[in-house]
Amino acid sequence: MPGTIFTAKQRADYDRDGYVIVRKLFDDEEIGILRTAIESDPALHDSLYNRNDASGKKTRMATWNHPGESVYGLAARTHRVVDTMEDLLGGEVYHYHSKLTAKEPRDGGAWEWHQDYGYWYHNGIVFPHMASLMVALDHSTRENGCLQVVKGSHHCGRVEHGVLPGDQVGADPRHVEEILKHLPIEYAEMEPGDGLFFHCNVLHRSDQNRSAHRRWTVIHCYNAARNNTYVEHHHPFYTPLEKVDDTAIKQAGVKFADSVSEFRAKSANPPQLKRRIA
């Protein structure tokens, strides 16, 4: 039977640090299929929107709540991903949402320090029994704005969040400043196909892409089934997740979404987080 792909050491590293990088989570053939589909899917491209940083540089994004039959929907349902998430979160999980984050050469925007649970909490999620998987479609380096994570910051608990300059929600800068006096920043540099599993309370950010090379990633987010939201919002209530074999990507080939209706028109910050912080 399939199960978690983590070794005992990786599991211990995740508990201690809040994240683990799995090299070649998807092999070269699989990541080639995923990259081609995402680059070419007309419904996905019709759903792209921009998130600006404080200087006006933008990250192009597309968001979808339910993993359908597209090849990137199948990737989010593979045993290697879902079984590992179930091990990390202690039981059945469901797909909370996925998104493409596309930083174009010399134009891709920065993301400020934040925790995912910093705003998912306001969606009616009681416990931080949530985690995400970032999959690199391109080389993700310091030069093109790879993810930065604060090692062990998930042990700090939820930090207050609010609207920052630009078009982003971020963590209270004063509190982050104090955390960074105690915990180190790590640069999560990845090759295409590598996957970064990270806890929803890990502080993370990324720099602008000042290089000549794009940085595209897909992020799949999961919630524990027992942690179902108690309010209706822009991401789904518990929805049973149908796992697929790890061979599903290669069997499907370059398969697009059925229609633009699979995507959200734009990701929305919860009303409670419209408060601006310095």
The answer to whether position 100 is within a domain reads: yes
Total count of domains within the chain: 1
The answer to whether position 260 is within a domain reads: no
Asked if 53 and 111 touch (Cβ cutoff 8 Å), the reply is yes
The answer to whether position 184 is within a domain reads: yes
Quick one: what percent of the chain has pLDDT higher than 90? 90
Q: What is the distance between the alpha carbons of residues 14 and 17, in angstroms, rounded to a whole number?
A: 5
82 is written with which tokens? 């879902």
Q: For residue 82, is pLDDT > 90?
A: yes
Over range 73-97, report the average pLDDT: 98
State pLDDT tens for residues 194-228.
999 999 999 999 999 999 999 999 999 999 999 99
H/E element, 224: strand 215-224
The answer to whether position 150 is within a domain reads: yes
35 is written with which tokens? 């990259």
Q: What is the distance between the alpha carbons of residues 25 and 246, in angstroms, rounded to a whole number?
A: 11
| Average pLDDT for the chain | 94
Q: What is the distance between the alpha carbons of residues 172 and 162, in angstroms, rounded to a whole number?
A: 7
pTM: 0.95
Please give the residue range of the domain that contains residue 191. 18-240
Q: What is the distance between the alpha carbons of residues 20 and 197, in angstroms, rounded to a whole number?
A: 5
Residue 101: pLDDT band with limits 50, 70, 90? very high
178: number of Cβ within 10 Å? 11
215 is written with which tokens? 């940085």
The answer to whether position 172 is within a domain reads: yes
The answer to whether position 97 is within a domain reads: yes
The answer to whether position 249 is within a domain reads: no
CATH number at residue 42: 2.60.120.620
The answer to whether position 255 is within a domain reads: no
166 is written with which tokens? 């630009």
